[in-house]
Amino acid sequence: MLLFSKLYRKSSLLQIPVSVLLFASCGPDIPEKVRLQEKQIPEQISYNLHVKPILSDRCFSCHGPDPNTREAGLRLDTEEGAYQNLQDNWMRKAVYPGKPGNSEVLHRILSEDPYVQMPPPESNLGLSDEEKAILIRWIEQGAEYQAHWAYLPPEKVALPASKYQNWVKNEVDAFILNRLEREGLTPSPEAEAATLIRRLSFDLTGLPPDWEMVQRFVKDPSAEAYEKVVNNLLASDAYAERMALDWLDVARYADSHGLHADGIRMMWPWRDWVINAFRSNMPYDQFIQWQIAGDMMPEKTKDQVLATAFNRNHQMTAEGGIIDEEYRLEYVFDRSETTAKAFLGLTMECAKCHDHKFDPLSQKDYFSLAAFYNNVDEVGMTGDDMNAGPMMLFTDEKTDAEIAEIKAKIMVLEADQQKLLSSDAPVSAENLPPVTLKKGLVADFPLDNHNNETTLSKTGTREARVSGNPEAVPAPNADRSALRFKDDFDFIEIPETGLFEMDMPFSYSIWINPETIEPYRFILGNIGNKNTYWRGYEFYLDHSNKVNVRLIHALPHNALHVTGELPIPAGKWTQVAFTYDGSGKASGLRIFINGKLTEVSIEKDNLYKSILPVNTSYTPVKKALRLARSYRVFSGDDGIYTGSLADLSIYDRTLTEWEVAWLFSEEDGKAMAGKPAALVHKNYWENAELEGIRDSLSYWRASKLKLMEGIEEVMVMQENSSPRKTFILDRGAYDAPLEEVSPAVPEVLAGFSPDWSQDRLGLAKWLSSPDNPLVARVTVNRYWYRIFGRGIVPTVDDFGSQGQLPSHPELLDWLAVDFMENGWDVKYLIKKMVMSATYRQSSEPTEILMEKDPDNVLLARAPRSRLQGEFIRDNYLKSSGLLVHKVGGPSVKPYQPPGLWEEKGEFSYFLYNYEQDTGQDLYRRSMYTFIRRTAPPPAMTTFDVPNREECLVSRQETNTPLQPLVLMNDPQVVEAARVLAERMLQSDELEQQLTVGIRNSLGRDPEREELDVLSSLYASELERFGKDLAAAKDLLAVGEHPADTRIPPEKTAAMTMVASLLFNHYEFYTKK
């Protein structure tokens, strides 16, 4: 029988030998040690509170939602699966409600036979005796399944009654006290006033209170004193900054791209938007809506569009050779996973390659949610530096008015120009095309031969460099030859030619004879590579042999792109030409084939900045015009042209339609006489008023371009003009599409109204709907975690089956409903928390509390924790008086050890060297410190500040030897200690000096013993530095802030060591 069991077990409850089933049919034999637990477990067993955590942790990986890992088809995550009859015995089920003897689950968990026991012994997931007793009682009581608690709508239950109602200050306390009484515990007394105001100030602003604020509060006996402080702190800019800092973690904000080059990006305007949102107390539902779909709002504002930068904060890569689509999809997935974690508390990433193993989230759910974000006009490969489109101009009202004024002038001039171009007067002989075609001709290359690696223009003023060895072949006109480009490195460069700006008109004509049809074949242009976001212009053939023209400032968003409707034949000579009128509009681009204007489709019509070539430092360069091979290195699309070229003509003006016909053939030119195109040509050349309009247009277009070039841009969201399809991807691989899916929310949550559009705007409405069971809960829990150091649901980022259960579920739901009922008011929510008696308790632990509730889950005392890294740095800056209270603006670069960025590599031009700031920027709040993802600020990283590579809703807290070393030796700390020492030395007596130091650093008056210790330290340090003035001067030289030369250096140095000791006092970096 043992061998038989081995063969059939396969870790499944269904593949059980019949002999085992018969043997077990009489009912489970419950071990005595399990029976002893019956008195210890709850009388009434709840599936969500007691059973599901066991099944999720021990069973769902093999018998849960994921069909790919499900053993023998048995599901224990649903009642339908658990209640089904076993395959080999219809009288038995895995779980038989009310009949433990017929429940195979119990036989398997109670078995001592390693071939029968579940979970298998080798999994190391065995159940405790208490857990076995819980499952037995649950089945005895009917084995009721419940929907997962977090997926049920929150309810605002009646407040529980308690014995000590006089302790209760608001609803929070009613729930906390009720639980404490049930556990036989009582609350701690209220914290001392100085401790309480310091705690409150750090929680609400991230900064310590100044001593005057402490004194006012301590000396104010009124009942309103505390609330007055709360209101003042909530109204401060520091509160908005503190709240924004937490959101930067969630939104994975950084000042660099991460990955590969990790080059610079400019996203600080979005950070300012977040600060302003918290300062104005923007309702949280609106806060969600704007960040998810602000660009899709009716009559959208600039602020609404800027808010969508939330979904552009993800990492991006500039690595050459990557597959663009693979990484574009990774950005899509990052957004959907961030949405799930930040707003829903779901580990959606676990359903990317297969159905979630623990939660009812299918792979289809994953890609359906991702579909909301799969319609953004973006690229997968970025440049090493700078923002990648889509982007918005970051302007102020004055600049907006200037732009609008110039646009209005241009619009009037363009309308006047269009009217004057129509006339029926005959054209004079001196302005016929054969004459005018000599005007504005920049270069004219027959491309009929090359000698000594050059080929000359007919005008004799320009010379082209020939690379490789293109061969001579018959030209369209048989009396001469053309050049055939047959190898990868056959191409031509024409120095200092064709350097046209986007506000300048220009035209090209060339004869081509392509031999192949490939996805991308470059004819001519000066387009750059990915590190300049392909800036320049190009004339090329696509996969259909259609002619394309692109003028590019930056792909994919800032460009013009038109495609000729007619494909040209391969293996046959064709004249192709394009003209551009300098308007910055796609309508100003025209394509001609064999002298005839062809219809075009507009692929992109959004050019507003320069197209002149630049290098990787974004310095303008005079890049040579290229033929037959582009400059597009790194991205695998060099555009190698195989075929022949002849008769290149370049003009620094817009050719008329009649002129292009003459360029093709004299016969076609003569045939156009008298037609509308000839009349336009006549007016173009002979109407003096029209010439004046062209001059005015040139001026205003140049003015507009100059203005635009000086405006910063921010990455934002923007939809594609046509929807992009989304597919379930096999194992998440970009190139393995399976079933097509539409945008949809996870099926288990539902609630997506048919009145909402199936796009990001609809998603934003669903997320902020009161009917959404998760968002308010997740939000309230995250803010509770910020204030109390631990979430009501401890797994702040996971409200699923693997997440921990809420310690106070009724409180969580009450707060969630109350939050929504009060307009999603964040300040209201925070104030309710900090006004509670629960919050105001002392954090001093008692022996009983440490024994019964060591992790402070029940909150019989206030939490005590180390301040987060930014708060520690801001604390010593403010304590010293160095902190600069400037709100918003670009990121700053304070002190940092040399060489860290250089070690990262030299791909990023702008971030190769760390260029430390000077002056006030050294002393800004830490939230403004420049975050480079692959080399984040080391001092703050030591205190667990994240590198912002991904969405983070809760930080880890570590204790390492590096942390005290930072607090003793970091230049910023040493400088702050020295400046605080100088403040202390302004007092006359030593005890007064030490008192000033303790008040400014620890926020309280000193104790006698502390004064004695510090006096002794000062005396010994004064003696040491008195004997070594050079060491004292070296210490005072640390940092940019000048030392006070009025004080003897040995005194300042000695007191600096005292101040340094205060910065290393546990009260300095601890929230009590």
How does pLDDT run across 339-367, given as a tens digit for each residue?
999 999 999 999 999 999 999 999 999 99
Cα 763 versus chain centre, distance: 18
**Percent of the residues in the chain that have a pLDDT greater than 70, as a whole number:** 95
pLDDT at 8 over 50: no
pLDDT at 426 over 60: no
pLDDT of residue 525: 96
DSSP 585: S
pLDDT at 7 over 70: no
- How confident is residue 870, by pLDDT bands cut at 50, 70 and 90? very high
Residue-wise pLDDT for 1007-1037, tens only, equals 999 999 999 999 999 999 999 999 999 999 9
- How confident is residue 92, by pLDDT bands cut at 50, 70 and 90? confident
pLDDT of residue 93: 87
pLDDT at 557 over 70: yes
d(CA 137, CA 139): 5
**Percent of the residues in the chain that have a pLDDT greater than 90, as a whole number:** 79
- How confident is residue 149, by pLDDT bands cut at 50, 70 and 90? very high
pLDDT of residue 26: 46
Lowest pLDDT segment from 117-121, 188-192, 477-481, 798-802: 477-481
pLDDT at 155 over 90: yes
Lowest pLDDT segment from 16-30, 413-427, 469-483, 776-790: 16-30
d(CA 245, CA 499): 45
pLDDT at 615 over 60: yes
What are the φ and ψ backbone dihedral angles of 895, each rounded to 5 degrees? -55, 140
For residues 612-622, average pLDDT: 94
Residue-wise pLDDT for 309-332, tens only, equals 999 999 999 998 899 999 999 999
1024: left (phi over 0), alpha (psi -120 to 50) or beta: alpha
Beta bridge partners of 381: 317
- Show the tokens assigned to 328: 């574009």
Q: CA torsion, points 482, 487, 493, 499, in degrees to nearest 10?
A: 100
pLDDT at 24 over 50: no
Do residues 785 and 791 touch, judged by C-beta distance below 8 A?
yes
Tallying the residues shown for the chain, one arrives at: 1072
d(CA 440, CA 653): 6
Q: How far is CA 691 from CA 63, 332, 420, 652, 683, in A?
A: 80, 50, 10, 15, 9
- Token pair 């809960």: residue: 777
Q: How far apart are the first and last CA of the chain?
A: 63
pLDDT at 262 over 70: yes
pLDDT of residue 460: 64
For residues 292-300, average pLDDT: 97
pLDDT at 479 over 80: no
For residues 402-420, average pLDDT: 94
Q: Where is pLDDT greater, at 557 or 683? A: 557
pLDDT at 6 over 60: no
pLDDT at 455 over 70: no
For residues 839-848, average pLDDT: 96
Average pLDDT, the chain: 92
pLDDT at 90 over 70: no
Q: Where is pLDDT greater, at 249 or 103? A: 249
- Show the tokens assigned to 787: 């204030």
pLDDT at 978 over 90: yes
Do residues 492 and 466 touch, judged by C-beta distance below 8 A?
yes
- Show the tokens assigned to 348: 């959606």
Three-state secondary-structure class, residue 704: helix
E strands, 436-488, in order: 441-445, 454-456, 463-467, 471-474, 481-485
Three-state secondary structure readout of 77-126: CCHHHHHCEECCEEEEECCCCCCHHHEHHHHHHHCCCCCCCCCCHHHCCC
pLDDT of residue 605: 97
Do residues 914 and 893 touch, judged by C-beta distance below 8 A?
yes
pLDDT of residue 634: 65
**pTM score of the predicted model:** 0.92
- How confident is residue 28, by pLDDT bands cut at 50, 70 and 90? low
For residues 803-807, average pLDDT: 95
Three-state secondary-structure class, residue 841: strand
pLDDT at 244 over 70: yes
Do residues 331 and 378 touch, judged by C-beta distance below 8 A?
yes
pLDDT of residue 12: 43
Do residues 911 and 256 touch, judged by C-beta distance below 8 A?
yes
Do residues 227 and 284 touch, judged by C-beta distance below 8 A?
no
Q: 428: burial class by Cβ within 10 Å (0-12, 13-18, 19+)?
A: exposed
Alpha helices (runs of H) in 235-362, residue ranges in sequence order = 237-250, 268-279, 284-293, 302-307, 324-339
For residues 869-877, average pLDDT: 98
For residues 269-296, average pLDDT: 99
- How confident is residue 731, by pLDDT bands cut at 50, 70 and 90? very high
Domains delineated in the chain: 2-146 (no CATH), 158-189+773-793+801-862 (no CATH), 190-235 (no CATH), 246-394+712-768 (no CATH), 440-652 (2.60.120.200), 867-1072 (no CATH)
pLDDT at 2 over 70: no
For residues 600-626, average pLDDT: 96
pLDDT at 35 over 60: yes
